[in-house]
Chains A and B, each alone.
Chain A
Amino acid sequence: MNSLPPPITDWFNARGWSLHPHQTEMLARAGEPALLLVAPTGGGKTLAGFLPTLAELADAPRPGLHTLYISPLKALAADIRRNLTAPIAEMGLPIRVEDRTGDTTATQRKRQRADPPQILLTTPESLALLLSYEDAPRIFDGLQRVIVDEIHALAESKRGDQLMLGLGRLATLAPGLRRVGLSATVEDPPALARFMAHAPQPCAVLHADPGPDPDITMMQTTAPPPWSGGGGRYAIPDILDRVRAHQTTLIFHNTRAQAEIFFHDLWVQNTDDLPIGIHHGSLAREQRERVEAAMVAGQLRAIVCTGSLDLGIDWGNVDLVIQVGAPKNVKRLVQRIGRANHRYNAPSKAMLVPANRFEVVECIAALQAVQAHDLDGDPRGPGPLDVLCQHILATACAGPFDAGAFYAEITAAGPYAALPRADFDACLEFCATGGYALRAYDRWRRLMQRGDGLWQLRDPRTARMIRMNLGTIVDTEKLKVRMKGRGGTPLGEVEESFAASLSQGDTFLMGGQVVRFDGLRELTVEVTRDPGREPKLAVFDGTKFATSTQLSDRILAILNSGDWSALPPATQGWLALQAEVSVMPQRNRLLVESFPYEGREHLCIWGFAGRNAQQTLGLLATKRMEEQGLHPLGFVATDYATLIWGLDAVLDAAPLLDAAGLREGLEGWLAGNAVMKRSFRTTAQIAGLIERNLPGQRKSGRQATFSTDILYDTLRRHDPGHLMLRITAEEAMRGLVDFGRIEEMLARIGGRIDTRRLERIPPLAAPLFLEMGRVPVQGAGRERLLAEAAERLMAAAGLV
């Protein structure tokens, strides 16, 4: 299809618009089975995706579903609906566009199933749900095209694996289905194309003109960055100046807690009352929608935000992006910068604000990488089996299936192309009987094989439960926060452990306000506004990316370059002090600093292996310390170092960190620790071992639920070969454990470990004391402290 039908051509001509070359190419190649379009933000990607659909339906109008559009965000689907509906009406095309997300009403959903629109806009989760209905074959029968928007973002999580399995299902229901992926700039487009291809058909990659390089600089601030800490409070006057000088500014932070604190401080200094809002994933939906609406209406001069605005609605009037805190990943930085200036062929303008003196180095490293077009990223692993288990259960909800044909369909999906049949069979077995070595559940299986060999649900009523638990986004236990009183305004959510640590009268920040904790009511945290009080920090589970290998290497290179003239004087002085008091961490040696602080002994391991690997290092090292009676109490990991504290000093770290010992420790340790339990919790929920949502569930009185930790321990003790444990281990090794980067680090240092005993905190280690995400060591040291704490409490209460 080379030319557009007259109604569309006329519409373009009337506006004096013409197509971008990549939009023309997308039209010309619309017949290909799969196309991946890589284009910068503002490049007219979405239109490029939809034009072939409009052209086909203008040429040959027809009822029934023609095109399915999938976006990672509900808000994006709604926005696209608005943006498509108007031109379609103006062109006079007989096309209905509707969205279907978690927010769509039940009546609307029912109607969509009975009478689908030509274009349906949805999310991966809603698609999985649609595919689980018995009438899925009828709904998708005539489907011609699928458009996956922001596919680079979906590919970063299990949502992408789930979606690709869903597309495989669609390809079976609608043979001849063509797919289109729309992606921001990524480091390895062919890998993304393999991810979205439907084997054995190919997926071609189209590149739009990347546009001019971004205009990105370090922000010059009046005050130097602080010695430690995050948040960029010191730069607020300078940031406000830039906000005043621009139309609309996005101020990105790496964590929600930092965004909150920054926003709070910003308002204190915002003497001209510039309209500035806050947006992050822990805020209530109502709050976020209000900010988004104000932004669309052009009422805001700036938004303090987190990764929750990495994707989403195009705001054409954003002309500056400020990144506060070091960008952990160059690719993400480039994509964030792209949020500014959505006009094609105009450079995006961005400024980096390091939160402290160490981050100055990280920011400079990132700047250099952006200028060198050196994008980073880790290759994607194979499709995870927990997602496959969920897909098997969901498919069984739709109707009986043949295992062989189903396996063939699954291996046509990119992420599962190399799935061994044995793994598929193990997943099927798990779904059917639980897959336990003890064959106790043969009587109570979930799936059964019929006489004709097809698999189906044993009890059709199970379908409801399975549908309620579809999806791969597993949140940590969170509690809603509301203003006190009937119908109190919802503010957002906090982690359950944070809520549990609150006592009446404690204050914390939520949505930029200081609120006081009044009490827990059912499962809601009730608060009242309490301005003028110093807030206790909210421990949100902000996204924490691991700094990429490329960026870490650049940072080490800068530290050891000997020439710090590119750095501000304050940072130069700090690094010089580190060199004087201790030494600089190096790429081919491992620096370990040992020092006392506030009555505890500390050990700081400078591995530069990324947050997850440093976390694993912390777990392995504390385990060995525990064995050696060194009473470790806990540790915290950053992208560069692991800080361990305990009751006894470590004078030689080498025995804790020898490669063979670490590998051996990993084997034993992989079994029972907090990280594994966290991975297990996610895996077990996705695979359908535990239900997140129960029909009519009400937690009251004695709780019926028990912790997944108990399930994990029980499985480990009684069925160590179980599939869930295997998936958990694989998951953890890949994600949270990241042992690969430990191996990489060990190879790099080649046994050269320097332990330095110091009298006080060395300069580089200081910021580590402010890190969140501390992991306790459940060992003898902790039992000792717990007993001491209990005695003090008993004595204080006069109960001894």
Chain B
Amino acid sequence: MKTGFEFGLAGARLMARAAGTLWWAEPGLLCVSDLHLGKSERIARRGGTLLPPYETVDTLARLDAEIAALDPAVVICLGDSFDDLLSTELPEAEALWLARLMAGRRWIWIAGNHDPGPVGLGGAHLAECHEGPLTFRHIAVPGAGAGEVSGHYHPKARITAQGQLLSRPCFLIDRARAILPAFGTYTGGLATTDPALGALMGPEAVAVLTGRRAICLPMPRAASPASAPRRRPGSRG
């Protein structure tokens, strides 16, 4: 079983794990992105539907399994860890669970677009952070120097194998950056063919599919507009 895909980024040896986390063995650093804890509750609170309120427990259980397997010294949550600021008031059992995961290690909350500002939990709260050659931030900055690790986009790859369409959350990795899949249970995804992701990632980019094992393939992209047959120029008005 391939539990992860190993790659180098700005000199750091990293592993994109099948579970959807990023592992940097040398300093013992585990990175996860877009946990979106408290999503079902936010939707209910705002008068939306009553989704099964189990996604926080589910996300924590999977994070717990990764921490148990790797015993990281540092955990970085790359933003959108909570669905909104009110969601940071987790039910007691879940708050305790999180506290137990945090105990005995450095824990860094990077601010996201859903959960800006300080949260009432322990750990350090940063807009972005630098560890060795790597920079951890929520949203990738176009043209950032080599070694950027980010989240936000929830990338999802679709490939056809044996006539079957498969869609899985994935890492996107090129020479300069890695974008992590969303780790939260109730998180949708943005297809890697989206222009936003196409513009960010270099031509050599790969997608690492998460799931039972990590599967690496060239990043599926939209056919480039340049190669599209140009007929009837100006038909778009």
Contacts and interface: CB of A to CB of B under 8 A. Distances in A.
Do A and B truly interact? yes
Interface of A: 433-434, 436, 438, 440-441, 443-446, 459, 461-462, 465, 484-486, 497, 500-501, 503-505, 518-520, 528, 633-634, 688-691, 701-707, 710-711, 714-715, 717-719, 722, 774, 776, 782-783, 785-787, 789-790, 793-794, 797, 799
A799 B206 contact: yes
Interface stretch (B9-17, B102-110, B120-128, B228-236): B228-236
A703 B54 contact: no
A445 B44 CA distance: 8
3 tightest CB-CB pairs across the interface, nearest first?
A: A434-B50, A444-B44, A718-B54
Among B49, B166, B216: residue with most chain A CB under 10 A: B49
Contacts of A633: 162
Contacts of B232: 485
B223 A500 contact: no
Nearest to B36: A706
Contacts of B215: 786-787, 790
12 contacts: A446-B49, A459-B47, A465-B49, A518-B228, A528-B231, A706-B187, A706-B189, A710-B185, A717-B54, A786-B215, A793-B218, A794-B217
Interface in B178-237: 185-190, 196, 204, 206, 209, 212-213, 215-218, 222-223, 227-229, 231-232, 235-237
Contact of A706 (B58, B186, B217): B186
Nearest to A457: B47
B119 interface: no
A23 B122 CA distance: 80
Interface string B84-117: 0000000100000000000000000000000000
A322 B213 CA distance: 52
A705 B188 contact: yes
B161 A789 contact: yes
A486 B223 contact: no
A434 B44 CA distance: 10
A767 to B, nearest CB: 19
Contact of A691 (B48, B154, B231): B48
Contact of A776 (B152, B154, B164): B164
B16 to A, nearest CB: 14
Contact of B50 (A444, A461, A484, A774): A444
Contacts of B229: 505
Among A443, A691, A789: residue with most chain B CB under 10 A: A789
B186 A785 contact: no
A396 B91 CA distance: 30
B23 interface: no
A436 B185 CA distance: 18
Given A710-B186, A782-B164, 11 more contacts: A436-B52, A459-B47, A505-B229, A519-B228, A689-B50, A702-B190, A714-B54, A782-B161, A789-B217, A794-B218, A799-B204
B56 to A, nearest CB: 9
B50 A702 contact: no
A786 B166 contact: yes
A715 B154 contact: no
A703 B223 contact: no
Contacts of B204: 799
Contact of B188 (A446, A486, A702): A702
Given A714-B58, A714-B185, A501 B47 contact: no
B231 to A, nearest CB: 7
B55 to A, nearest CB: 6
Give the interface residue-count category, chain B.
35 or more
B235 A485 contact: yes
B165 interface: yes
A499 B52 CA distance: 31
Nearest to B51: A711
Contact of B57 (A715, A718, A774): A718
B130 interface: no
A465 B50 contact: no
A785 B223 contact: no
A640 B165 CA distance: 27
A689 B188 contact: no
B146 interface: no
A707 B160 CA distance: 19
B41 interface: yes
B176 interface: no
Contact of A701 (B51, B167, B190, B216): B190
B48 A486 contact: no
Interface string B152-163: 111000111111
A702 B154 contact: yes
Given A461-B47, A691-B49, A497 B218 contact: no
Contacts of A497: 165
Contacts of B118: none
A459 B217 CA distance: 48
A198 B196 CA distance: 57
B83 to A, nearest CB: 11
Contacts of B212: 783
Nearest to A462: B47
